[in-house]
Structure 1
Amino acid sequence: MNVVLVDTPDTLPIIYERGLFGMYYNWCKSFSTYPRSYNFLHADYLSSRLKKMCNFQVVVAETYQILRPESILIVRDTAEVINELESMVKSMNWEVCMTYTKENEDFLGVRKSTWWPTEIVTLEYVV
């Protein structure tokens, strides 16, 4: 599935010509993928565009929902956005597989973990 941000140049005709599926979407709203989830997500300067439009943490949480455990996320963006995204995915216990810098753009490759809490914390309510 190829998702084109609504306020970017129209590349869907090229996607359709190649026999692929695609759609326009505003990532600031929840992205309904039910009943599907994905093994791979590639974002090409999507994060820096969305950062200006909506809450970036919500977009990262949406990415978490879309990807299956052990899936791959590859992001190409500015160094500032990559550094922020890298700290967010590390806090979610994702494995950073690759970081690469070339001139003004950075690449980040991460794998979603199958992390699960090892302790169960019980809360006692005081009445």
Structure 2
Amino acid sequence: MKACISPWPEINRPKKVAGGELKRFPDRLFAVPPRIAKGFVPGVNAESYLEDNRLWKKHVNSYKRINQLIGTERYRNMMDMNAGLGGFAAALESPKSWVMNVVPTIADKNTLGVIYERGLIGIYHDWCEAFSTYPRTYDLIHACGIFSLYQDKCKVEDILLEMDRILRPEGAVIFRDDVDVLNKVKKVASGIRWDTKIFDHEDGPLLPEKILVAVKQYWVGSDSDGI
């Protein structure tokens, strides 16, 4: 096991914390994580981290205007398919729910350590493969840029069918992506009997990035199904 574990830096004082001291929860949700403060995440510094926090608070406030059930007990088990720095989960600030933060294995940056330092839970995963749902499925899935990330890797249909499998009936999905990508997603999502609706970006209709909200319905057979 030792070969698989990255050791903390050595310390020379008893009260010094290897890797950097973490604040108590919930303050650590928004405090700059030690590995960012120390420059261990390429391309991310304290300023860009704080800006990411501000951006996701803005996005989540927009989501709550679209779906007022976000932050309530209705959505207890949630997932962020492309979690980045964990900004979506942190911005929720809801004690009534928890978020599984997934860092795609093909993501540009390895941010899982940042997610853990924020006091959140996370995992690596390749969305071209099945996701282990033991012991739970999910009430809400957040998918920001996931289809743009995987557009040359695997089919839209395969990812959506996997999402349908792990999403509970009457569960919701929030997609955030380029409008051309979302139009393709909407077509397939309607084919698997999700109710879908596209909303403009928070900053106006002229931006190419849009929000697609989908709700999974119960599959109820018609009278002809038994004939």
What TM-score range do you get, normalising by the shorter chain? 0.7 to 0.9
More displaced stretch, 113-122 vs 75-84: 113-122
> Residue 20 of structure 1 is aligned with which of 120, 145, 166?
120
TM-score (norm 2): 0.51
> Residue 107 of structure 1 is aligned with which of 182, 193, 211?
211
Query: Deviation string for 1:65-100 (max 9, x for gaps)?
Result: 010001110011111110011111112221124522
Counterpart amino acid of residue 6 in structure 1:
T
1:39 corresponding residue in structure 2:
139
Identity %: 35
Separation (CA, whole Å) in 1 of partners of 2:167 and 2:101: 14
1:125 corresponding residue in structure 2:
none
More displaced stretch, 12-21 vs 38-47: 12-21
> Residue 78 of structure 1 is aligned with which of 156, 178, 185?
178
Separation (CA, whole Å) in 2 of partners of 1:23 and 1:10: 11
2:2 is aligned with 1:2: no
The two structures, once aligned, show a CA RMSD in angstroms of 1.5
Unaligned runs of 5+ in 2: 1-99
Counterpart amino acid of residue 219 in structure 2:
W
Matches within 5 A, 1:42-121: 42-101=142-201, 102=205, 103-119=207-223, 120-121=225-226
Contact between 2:128 and 2:154, CA under 8 Å: does it hold in 1? yes
Separation (CA, whole Å) in 2 of partners of 1:12 and 1:121: 49
SS at match of 2:134: coil
Contact between 1:97 and 1:111, CA under 8 Å: does it hold in 2? no
TM-score (norm 1): 0.87
Contact between 2:198 and 2:210, CA under 8 Å: does it hold in 1? no
Contact between 2:148 and 2:177, CA under 8 Å: does it hold in 1? yes
Query: Deviation string for 1:22-59 (max 9, x for gaps)?
Result: 11111101111123100011011011111211122111
